[in-house]
Each structure stands twice: as structure tokens, then as C-alpha cells.
Amino acid sequence: MALSKRRIYVAGIALQLFLVITVSSRDTFWLLSKSKTVFPESSKKFWQGAEQITSTALAQGLPRSNPVRQILTGYVNLSGIEVGYGFFAPNVSNSYKLVFELHFPDRRVEYELPRVSNSASALRVAGLVDTIGRTHSEALRQTIITMLADAVWREHADAIAIRAIFGSVILPSAAEFAHGKRESYEFLYAYDFAVSDNPTERSTP
């Protein structure tokens, strides 16, 4: 292979690595600015600043319609490098649970979870429920829960009302578990749906 061609390849690998490292650093700085870590609380501002710098390097400071941002964002998505690798880090967070309370005309009440056919799909639905719990956007949370409620309703067309109850699963430590404590639930949000309605009411703790 010609030297000039090799140089082009080396430039390509350098750009790819730059993007992988920058995206990973950005997500690490985000974790450091949001989570409880070995660093003091006062350092969070520093990590926020670092996250801003890395975001800027990824053209995230440009308007969304800017071609550079569109191309760069497009490329990182095409190559699968748009997110960092902080799995279960810095600590393993609590998970979330979504339960639907179905009310029928005969005053019967049933409970349903979002259903899929196997454990591989269940992992994906669990990720979706975690997204609902993590998002700061009330509009997004409400939209997703409305869609999920609609899916449950299709399975139970005779229900007259549905209450979606969303909560956090509090996990016991190993020592607590050994002493008999089991997982508990903390109520976070509830949404009420009536026939052919948008959420009629929302309650929080």
C-alpha cells in the first residue's frame, strides 16, 4: 500500500479515536457532575465545565441545523460511538417499576405490567422504564406512559379507566437482606386515564 494512502488511513483512525475518546470523556464528566463519586461535591462545577468543553468539541454547541453538527452526529450514530461506556457506574442505581391498575365496569380491579414475550425483550422494556425514571422532561415521561397505557388498554378493551403507577425499586444491601429486609417501592408518579382521554390527572408524592 502506498505511503500516501497509509497516511489517509492513519488520519482516519486518529479521527475515529478522537471521537470515541471525546464521547467517552463527555459521558464520564456528565456522570461525575451528576453522581455521587469519590470526588467532593464541590468538584461538580468543574466536571460540568469539562463536559461543556467536550460537548463543544463534538459540535453540540452549534445550532441543530448546522451541517457540521448534523454530519458529525450522523457519523457517530452510524459507527455506534454516540454514547460512552459507563455501564453500572459509578454505582448501580435503583431500578424503576411501572404498574397499570385497570378498572372495569363491574368494579373489578386488575394489575398489569408492560408485557413482552421473552426475557430478551424484557431487558429492553426495563431500559425503557429506566428512561422514564431518569428523564427530567415531564412531557416525555407523560408521552411514554400514555403510549404504554394505550398498549395495555388494547389488551383490555373493556376497562373503563387505567391508573399508571410509577415508582422506584429500593434495593436492600446484602446485610439488610440477610436480616430479612426485602426490596421496597417508593411511589413517584401516578397518571389516570379514562376512556378516550389524555391523562386526566397526575399525582406525585
Partner 1 sequence: MKRLAVWQERLIDFCFPAESDTWLAVLRIGLGLEIILYALSLRYDWNYLLAGTGYGLISRNLGEAILSLESRLVPTLDWLVTLGAHVGLHEETVLTVAWIFLVAAGSALLLGVGSRFAAILVWFLHLCAAKSGGFVSYGIDNFMTIGLFYLMLSPLPDRYSVDWRLRKSRSRDPQLLGFWRRVLQLHLCVIYFFSGLTKCLGSGWWDGSSVWRALIRPPFNVINPEVLVSWKYLFPVAGILVCLLEIGYPFFIWHNKTRKIWLIGICAMHVGIGLTMGMYLFAFIMIVLNVSAFACRSDPHRASNASSWSFRKWAHKSAGTEHSFQYVLLSAQMPLLLSTTATIALRIRSTKG
The H or E element containing residue 147 is helix 138-155
- What whole-number distance in Å separates Cα of residue 19 and Cα of residue 75? 10
Per-residue x/- mask for partner 1, residues 13 to 42, rule CB under 8 A?
Answer: x--xx--xx--xx-xx--xx--xxxxx---
| Least CB distance to partner 1 at residue 123 (A) | 6
| Least CB distance to partner 1 at residue 40 (A) | 12
The nearer residue to partner 1, 106 or 157, going by C-beta atoms, is 157
The nearer residue to partner 1, 18 or 104, going by C-beta atoms, is 18
CA nearest to 204, candidates 171, 162, 167: 167
Beta-ladder partners of 102: 110, 162
Chain positions 68 to 97 lying near partner 1, rule: CB under 8 A, are: 69-71, 73-75, 77-92, 94-95, 97
Question: What type of residue is 102?
Answer: L
Phi/psi of residue 71, each to 5°? -70, -45
Q: Going along the chain, which residue ranges are E strands?
A: 95-103, 109-112, 161-170, 184-194, 199-203
| Least CB distance to partner 1 at residue 109 (A) | 23
The nearer residue to partner 1, 108 or 121, going by C-beta atoms, is 121
| Least CB distance to partner 1 at residue 91 (A) | 4
Chain positions 95 to 134 lying near partner 1, rule: CB under 8 A, are: 95, 97, 114, 116-128, 131
The nearer residue to partner 1, 87 or 106, going by C-beta atoms, is 87
46 binds partner 1 (CB under 8 A): no
DSSP state letter for 171: P
What separation, in Å, do the N-terminal and C-terminal C-alpha atoms of the chain show? 66
Angle at alpha carbon of residue 15, lines to 26 and 60, rounded to 5°:
40
164 binds partner 1 (CB under 8 A): no
- What whole-number distance in Å separates Cα of residue 125 and Cα of residue 10? 40
53 binds partner 1 (CB under 8 A): no
